[in-house]
Structure 1
Amino acid sequence: MQIDPSLVREFAPTGRLRAALNMGNPVLAHSRTAVERPAGVTIDLTRRFAQMLGVEADLIQFETAARSGAAVAAGAADIGFMAIDPKRAEAIHFTTPYVQIEGCYLVREASALQRNDEVDRAGTRVVVGEGSAYELFLSRHLQHASVVKVATSEAVVDAFLADSGIEVAAGVRQQLEADARRVGGVRLLPGRFMVIEQAMAMPRGRSGEAQALLESFIAEQRRSGFVREALQLHGIEGATTLL
């Protein structure tokens, strides 16, 4: 596929494609099978897109979605991979989503909470990773429970266990399941409180041609089965690939 040189310069103004990676998401930027690091579906997509543009890729790693998104919004990264959110969309352009993951609640074994709809009650404290898709969502939607923010998604369960006054931990299902196996004495509430739609992203203000190119790229990776196969290759389960 021949890409107009002006579009290549728009996507890679430094001559290299700078990709912001959210290393705090175990579905997107981690692999259970690959020896090299970083590895995961977003790394595979970055390299594939860079190859299409005919440039090399720089993988810029961030601990959180908030920092990754800030890099894209500021133009310090050329593309990124993160959950679609209206607040982020003020400074970031998103493609249509390519995968869905679930936001879930975790409680102590002895907790009286049994269902997701029981969480939003006065006095209930819910700990989340600051700037994550589920923190932004819960901060908008919880009307009675209060949100407690910690620096990273990986720190959520440890902060939850360290403070007996926090009744609920919220996060990506895969991260919470891994933490539950690690610490014991906790359980996930059945189901989910939200579906998190993950998309490719780039700074707002780019041309309509650039938006169309990124959209067509991710659409082809879904349609061809590349996203599904990459998740399988890296041993990632529980994510729904969109066609």
Structure 2
Amino acid sequence: MSESGQDGAPALDPAASSPLRIAINLANAALVRIGADDGEPHGIAVDLGRALGAWLDRPVRLVTFPSAGAVMASVGTDAWDVAFLAIDPARADRVAYSRPYMRIEGVFAVHDASALRHGEDADRPQIRIASAAGAAYHGHLTHTLRHAELVTVPVPDDALRLLCEGGCEVAAGVRQSVEAFVAQRTDLRILPGRFMAIEQAIAVPRHGALGADELDDFLAHAAATGLIDPA
């Protein structure tokens, strides 16, 4: 590899010729989806990951995980170099973040017959809210719910399935994922409003080859070339 990648990207030595392993969280439909035709991951996380590899002049290998919790559980195992995750202060001891490159919304789903009419109504006694362990919004709900019971499930779709089975009154999730699930049913709806705005960033393991400064430089390049919204 030359001394720098495309557009002045820093060289990485000695790993410069090895694949840049991109951790892909398959549970976040705002960032990734599986193509119906090819069965492969697509979406902004994949596009940005491949662009980061090109910027660093390194080949890219996608490493898929079923949830953000699974991504974080693998920190320290040398399973990946870069991940696309929500910014969560609870993870800051294990990963370093770039600046945010987009924001998504956390929303609640309920049965159509539910008496709840707005997201703010969900935090009340005798309401069980299902949420995925390891998700950034799960940590938020852990600290903000005062009356409702938080039911922890392994992955985001489990929260929605639990709602369908009557195991909870409310399911939490990322808007795009919840909308896709609800669209396939006639007995569920999404409560108006959001319970949090979730900032998305690129993360690297602490003490890894890449640092947050390099990621910020890449995002500036991505904004300048139109890959992401400069705002």
SS at match of 1:127: strand
* Structure 1 residues 191-216: Cα deviation after superposition (integer angstroms, max 9, x where no partner): 10100111000011247x83211111
SS at match of 1:43: helix
Alignment of 1:158-173 (within 5 A): 158-163=161-166, 165-173=167-175
Alignment of 1:62-141 (within 5 A): 62-72=65-75, 74-141=77-144
**Matches of 2:65 and 2:34, distance apart in 1:** 16
Aligned length: 225
**Matches of 2:87 and 2:145, distance apart in 1:** 19
**Matches of 1:105 and 1:143, distance apart in 2:** 16
**Matches of 1:49 and 1:181, distance apart in 2:** 34
Deviation at 1:190, TM superposition (A): 0.7
Q: Is the 8 A contact 1:74 1:203 kept in 2?
A: no
Q: Is the 8 A contact 1:17 1:58 kept in 2?
A: yes
1:118 to 1:242, Cα distance in 2 relative to 1, 3 A: farther
Q: Is the 8 A contact 2:9 2:218 kept in 1?
A: no
Deviation at 1:242, TM superposition (A): 5.8
1:222 equivalent to 2:223? Answer: yes
1:148 to 1:55, Cα distance in 2 relative to 1, 3 A: same
Q: Which letter maps to 2:148? A: A
Normalized against structure 1, the TM-score is what? 0.84
Q: Identify the residue that residue 204 of structure 2 maps to in structure 1.
A: 202
* Structure 1 residues 173-228: Cα deviation after superposition (integer angstroms, max 9, x where no partner): 11111111112111111110100111000011247x8321111101321343203x
Q: Is the 8 A contact 1:129 1:151 kept in 2?
A: yes
SS at match of 1:113: coil
**What 5-or-longer segments of structure 2 have no aligned partner?**
1-6
Identify which of 48, 51, 62 aligns with 1:48. 51
Q: Which letter maps to 2:58? A: V
* Structure 1 or 2: more helix by fraction: 1
SS at match of 1:90: coil
Identify which of 144, 148, 153 aligns with 1:150. 153
Q: Which letter maps to 1:162? A: E
**Matches of 2:230 and 2:10, distance apart in 1:** 28
Q: Identify the residue that residue 233 of structure 1 maps to in structure 2.
A: none
Normalized against structure 2, the TM-score is what? 0.88
Q: Identify the residue that residue 237 of structure 1 maps to in structure 2.
A: none
Q: Which letter maps to 1:142? A: L
**Matches of 1:8 and 1:2, distance apart in 2:** 15
SS at match of 1:59: strand
Identify which of 182, 185, 201 aligns with 2:184. 182
Deviation at 1:28, TM superposition (A): 0.7
SS at match of 1:213: helix
SS at match of 1:202: strand
Q: Identify the residue that residue 191 of structure 1 maps to in structure 2.
A: 193
Deviation at 1:140, TM superposition (A): 1.5
